[in-house]
Structure 1
Amino acid sequence: KGGLDFLKDDENINSQPFMRWKERFLYSMEAVNRSIAATGEIKGHYMNVTAATMEDMYERAEFAKQIGTVIIMIDLVIGYTAIQTMAIWSRKNDMILHLHRAGNSTYSRQKIHGMNFRVICKWMRMAGVDHIHAGTVVGKLEGDPLMIKGFYDTLLESYLDVNLPQGIFFQQDWASLRKVTPVAS
């Protein structure tokens, strides 16, 4: 046994007329609780609290906490200040913060301009997120196996040595900075 048995909101869903966030959160937690009762195992659901304002994100996160979830989700497109703010809120409230990399490919997959996803991994580690979609070697977020290994190492290792095949061009000592769990979905 091992791993996590969690579902997540789609990264594009926040609160649309056909699926309001509060009702979605309630239905999701009802399903989680039924699944826990049926299996005796821990289950969960990443509640997407992404919204247009910090006030709306706080409201959604507070509601998610009140109904018993242990993890909330935000999208990369909310911006770095909002990401770090939600990371601080999550720490203070004993919640796990999952970051979906929605929007990342608009600048990380460009051959002429943009930046590598490894930079985002470093920023998100410094910002304080707990989980991040870090890609896989197959599927929608696929990439070169060595490159993906470099992303995972950037998120998980306390110290990185130069590893050119993995795209790590200089040493990095993360000291005691928290690790980030890479997630594949």
Structure 2
Amino acid sequence: MRDQRVVRCTYYLESDIEPERAAAALAGEQSSGTFVPVPGESDRIRERHAAQVVEVRELGRRSPSLPSRTRPREVRASLAVIEFPMENIGTDLATLQTTVAGNLFELGDLFACRLRDIDLPEEFVAAHAGPAFGVPGTRRLLGGAEGVMVGTIVKPNVGLAEDEFRRVVRELARASIDLIKDDELMTDPAYLPLEKRVAVATEEIRAAEQLTGHPTMYAFNITGDLAGLRRRHDLVVEAGGRCVMLNVPVMGLPALAWLREFSEVPVHGHRAGLAGAMRSPALGMSYRVWQRLARLAGADHLHVSGLGSKFYETDDEVADHVRSLFEPLGDTLRPVPTLSSGQNVTTPAPTYAAVGSTDLLMLAGGGVAAHPDGPAAGVRSLRAAWAAAVDGTPLERAAREAADAGDTALLHAVRAFEKGA
């Protein structure tokens, strides 16, 4: 009997053959079929294990988006909904990704192939624990932090000597910031090894907390060889660190899922490299698909880019990324959408208007470090900008009112970043 539990995928396709044939070729390639009949491909196997095309909607003709062996002047675009029996996949994330986003991208008859959406069976979702901390656990580790959590990145991102790194962390921790993170490029270089960064950062954060009373989380980048992943995690935890960071597209979903099994602290999920599989609307997968897999694998924080970003996504696309992380996924905790790239006091208002939530982490590099009055004023200005956004107070008015009350941090930030915008 055919498994009624199915993984339902929606693909955007372009082909120089009929869209129905193109969808059938994809379904066959990713299940029991081959391009020619083979011995042993029985009716029983086809009935039980073949992926099924359940809908094809033609979108018209257009120029091909991707190169292939042939170069037609025109191809037929379509949306195809294909169902894969869960029996083929089980509950393994790597097998799922191989099935729904694997060899199909190489099919010569396809001049575009993008996985736009995925619906997973309840049994598949329930087989994965999801984030261990998510929004509530992260807030708890930050002393019950309310509103948008404010973070930053150590800059310069590479090349700092130990004493330079110490000064940067000291200044940021004493600014009562919620989270400091390693840059994705900073892993375990000989000039400033992870072990040394952990020792220095935890020491400076503990000292700052004695002065400010404000807990700060540092996301240490433990991306690297798989064999050493647990050792690097343990190094952070034994020193009193509160967060580890993993470059998920580089390390892969199975590495993230393994880290989730033993991690004692939140996992900050970076997305460096994801655009290689996401940027082209004709290839790879959408963020909506990727975030579901990363959530099931256990990421507590997930990068979404940012409104007004230096990166390629439009503000509408970024807002959709954030909203997708708010959607229920079985009984799993919600991860923290992490805004980054070009974030400063001008971005809270449009961000709040677009997503209507403060369950966010805003990473502001220049928005903190480049504040004309220093990082502490940068952190205060961002919190003030978020408070204004939530209250519906125009930024300029909030800045003037705060300055009249004696705090010029927001006013100076508005002048600095609106001028530079």
Aligned to 2:205: 32
Aligned to 2:245: 73
Distance 1:17 1:47 in 2: 16
Residue 155 of structure 1 deviates from its aligned partner by 1.2
Contact 2:307 2:319 in 1 (8 A): no
Distance 2:211 2:311 in 1: 32
Aligned to 1:168: none
TM-score of the superposed pair, with normalisation by structure 1? 0.83
Amino acid across the alignment from 2:191: F
Task: Establish whether residue 175 from structure 1 lines up as the match of residue 330 from structure 2.
Answer: yes
Aligned to 1:138: 308
1:13-32 aligned at under 5 Å gives the runs: 13-32=186-205
Distance 2:310 2:261 in 1: 30
Contact 2:181 2:220 in 1 (8 A): yes
TM-score of the superposed pair, with normalisation by structure 2? 0.38
Amino acid across the alignment from 1:121: Q
* Structure 1 unaligned residues grouped into runs of 5+: 159-173
Distance 1:31 1:118 in 2: 38
Larger-gyration structure (1/2) = 2
Q: How many residues align?
A: 166
SS in 1 for 2:228: helix
Residue 87 of structure 1 deviates from its aligned partner by 1.5
Q: Displaced runs of 4+ in structure 1, greater than 4 A?
A: none
1:146-175: CA deviation from partner (whole Å, max 9, x where unpaired): 2222211221222xxxxxxxxxxxxxxx23
Residue 38 of structure 1 deviates from its aligned partner by 1.7
Distance 1:109 1:17 in 2: 33
1:34-83: CA deviation from partner (whole Å, max 9, x where unpaired): 22112111112101111112x31100100100111111111011011101
SS in 1 for 2:294: helix
Distance 2:311 2:257 in 1: 24
Identity, in percent, stands at: 23
Residue 131 of structure 1 deviates from its aligned partner by 0.4
Aligned to 1:87: 260
SS in 1 for 2:191: coil
SS in 1 for 2:283: coil
Amino acid across the alignment from 2:297: A
Q: Judging changes above 3 Å, is the alpha-carbon distance between structure 1 residues 99 and 112 closer, same or farther for their aligned structure 2 residues? A: same
SS in 1 for 2:302: strand
Aligned to 1:43: 216
Pick aligned residue for 1:109 from 279, 284, 292: 279
Q: Judging changes above 3 Å, is the alpha-carbon distance between structure 1 residues 49 and 176 closer, same or farther for their aligned structure 2 residues? A: same
Distance 2:258 2:325 in 1: 20
Contact 1:136 1:142 in 2 (8 A): no
Aligned to 2:125: none
Contact 1:9 1:48 in 2 (8 A): yes
Distance 2:332 2:188 in 1: 34
1:119-138: CA deviation from partner (whole Å, max 9, x where unpaired): 21111111111101111112
* Structure 2 unaligned residues grouped into runs of 5+: 1-145, 151-177, 340-362, 364-421
